[in-house]
């Protein structure tokens, strides 16, 4: 036993992360997840009530881990430094998850639990950035938080889709994003 849930719980969650991440919710089969986890199909249902609940659990684990890492990036730095660290973390996080694209796109709809959780995650993330911006005196901090996260999300797409987006490009992109957010594009016009 490695935790309160037991090894199988983790194995199933890991397998679900892999399979859902590769194929999305609807094209993933419980049988494949079970096989990948090295357990029987029925065992999945001992730990998770349904396919949807399993998906939600996978998402939850990923998002919580993300927020925990992000938390550290923002404290005890000035605005410029904080934004740069945040951008780097955001982009590198998804760079490492290139194989799990579908986790962020092909989610089950009609599932109130998941929808609520995802909105909660987005709200929490936004709040975290909003608070940082507010504490640094930025006006309309919530709008600015959303705008910065939006920029980074679009950069994330490039990372997930372009095979030739390498780790060094990630650093460069993060730097540009933070700079643009701080000074606007006019700064670069002659």
Rg of the chain, C-alpha, whole Å: 19
Residues 40-69 that bind DNA (CB under 7 A): 40-46, 50-52
Q: Which of DNA, a copy of itself, none is residue 43 near (CB under 5 to 8 Å by kind)? A: DNA
Contact 58, 103 (CB under 8 A): yes
| 14 near DNA, judged by CB under 7 A | no
The stretch among 4-12, 70-78, 129-137, 146-154 that binds DNA (CB under 7 A) is 4-12
| Binding characters for a copy of itself, 91-110, by CB under 8 A (x = yes) | -----------x--xxx-xx
For the chain, the distance separating the N- and C-terminal CA atoms, rounded to the nearest angstrom, is 63
Distance CA 165, CA 154 (A): 14
Whichever of 28 and 130 has its CB closer to DNA, that residue is 28
Contact 63, 128 (CB under 8 A): no
Q: How far is CA 42 from CA 17, 28, 92, 187, in A?
A: 18, 16, 36, 60
Residues 124-153 that bind a copy of itself (CB under 8 A): 133, 136-140, 143-144, 146-147, 149-153
Paired tokens of 141: 């901090």
Q: Which of a copy of itself, DNA, none is residue 23 near (CB under 5 to 8 Å by kind)? A: a copy of itself
Question: Which residues are at the interface with DNA (CB under 7 A)?
Answer: 6-8, 28-31, 39-46, 50-52
């Amino acid at each position: 036993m490695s935790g309160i849930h037991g090894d199988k719980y983790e194995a199933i969650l890991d397998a679900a992360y892999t399979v859902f991440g590769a194929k999305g919710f609807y094209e993933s089969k419980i049988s494949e997840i079970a096989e990948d986890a090295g357990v029987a199909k029925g065992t999945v249902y001992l730990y998770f009530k349904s396919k949807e609940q399993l998906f939600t659990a996978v998402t939850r684990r990923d998002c919580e881990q993300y927020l925990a890492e992000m938390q550290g990036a923002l404290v005890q730095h000035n605005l410029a430094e904080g934004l740069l660290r945040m951008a780097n973390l955001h982009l590198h996080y998804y760079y490492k998850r290139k194989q799990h694209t579908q986790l962020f796109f092909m989610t089950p709809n009609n599932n109130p639990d998941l929808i609520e959780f995802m909105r909660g995650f987005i709200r929490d993330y936004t709040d975290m950035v909003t608070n940082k911006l507010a504490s640094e005196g930025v006006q309309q901090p919530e709008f600015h938080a959303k705008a910065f996260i939006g920029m980074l999300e679009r950069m994330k797409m490039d990372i997930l889709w372009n095979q030739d987006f390498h780790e060094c490009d990630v650093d460069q992109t993060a730097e540009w994003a933070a700079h643009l957010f701080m000074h606007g594009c006019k700064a670069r016009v002659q």
